[in-house]
Amino acid sequence: MKKPFEYYAAIAQRLVESGQEFALYRFPCETAPRLIVGNAVPLQDTHYSVSAASSVSGFLFHPFSPTRTCPTLLIRPEIACRGWDIIDSETENLPHQRITLCHLEHKLQRPVPRSDDFQRIYRIFRNQIDRGRFHSLYLSQAIEGRWAEDADEGTLFMKMAEMYPEELVYLTYTRIGGRWTGHTPRMLLRGGSSRWETVSPSGTRHITFSPDGAHLINDVLQIPPEEVSGQPSSSAREFIRLHEGYPRLYFTGTVGPLNLYGETVLFLNLSCLKQHPASQAIFYGGTMLKR
């Protein structure tokens, strides 16, 4: 028998209030969510080596531009389960403790640009395109403020799951990265064993047969997709980091299970909300500037 919306939201909120590091996520077109609870390990070598990508597993949370203060994180699974009833059973005895605020939760490090600042930044980006330095640049946007004060993260996760049934929906907390909720339809890579599938922005799927897909994971993490950076991608990412006006953090990065139960499914983190102690930051789309 299906239980009410509030029941599932309360389970999700229980995870948030436990202070445990976790990732609760639901794949596109599925109804049963999956849960990983465990310690989040910063991966100092943010550019994956083939051997590292083959030997670790967990839930990956990779930023747009990794830094020492905003590193690639991997939540290693101490608890891994699927389905609300099992998640309820596995988490009913979690302790209730105060969530430790991390440096990313206190502020965005730089204020989100106001409308007049955004116009100035837009002209900087446009100038680079007109001068021929880049073929394209993606200028994103964020809003910082306070919305839906009565909606906790568990309720927000459930609402996203209802509104976006064909997208990945996730809720995660780590002591380094903080509290994030998001949804995205954009799968980058899926595979395991010897069969790997990559997906282009147009939705075209390419199948690769390889005994080791670590080099594909390596490519996904090293080079941001052109659709959220520009062309050429590597230099576009650095230009965006320096001139966009705010740190994207984990927005337009990579999220999903890595080598978990023999399968990797990585998504582009396209729409997300970050909780702060007294406000929220919403990261969403932007403008692609082209020659």
Rounded Cα–Cα distance for residues 127 and 162 (Å): 41
- The domain of 22 spans 5-109+153-225+250-284
Number of structural domains found in the chain:
1
- What is the model's pLDDT at position 278? 63
Please check whether residue 22 lies inside any domain of the structure. yes
Residue 123 domain flag: no
Indicate whether 90 pLDDT > 90.
yes
Q: Does residue 254 form part of some domain?
A: yes
The per-residue pLDDT of the chain, averaged, comes to 87
pLDDT tens, residue by residue, 113-140: 777 788 999 999 999 999 999 999 999 9
Structure confidence by residue, pLDDT tens digits, 240-265:
999 999 899 999 999 999 999 889 99
pLDDT value of position 23? 98
> What's the confidence (pLDDT) of residue 47?
47
In a domain, 87, yes or no: yes
Query: 237 in a domain, yes or no?
Result: no
100, part of any domain: yes
Is the residue at 124 inside a domain? no
**Is 146 domain-assigned?**
no
Confidence band, pLDDT 50/70/90 cuts, at residue 14 = very high
pLDDT at 40: 94
The answer to whether residues 12 and 35 touch, using CB atoms and an 8 Å cutoff, is: no
pTM to 2 decimal places: 0.92
Residue-wise pLDDT tens digits, 205-220: 999 988 778 888 888 8
Would the pLDDT of 189 be above 90? yes
Model confidence at 99, pLDDT cuts 50, 70, 90, reads low
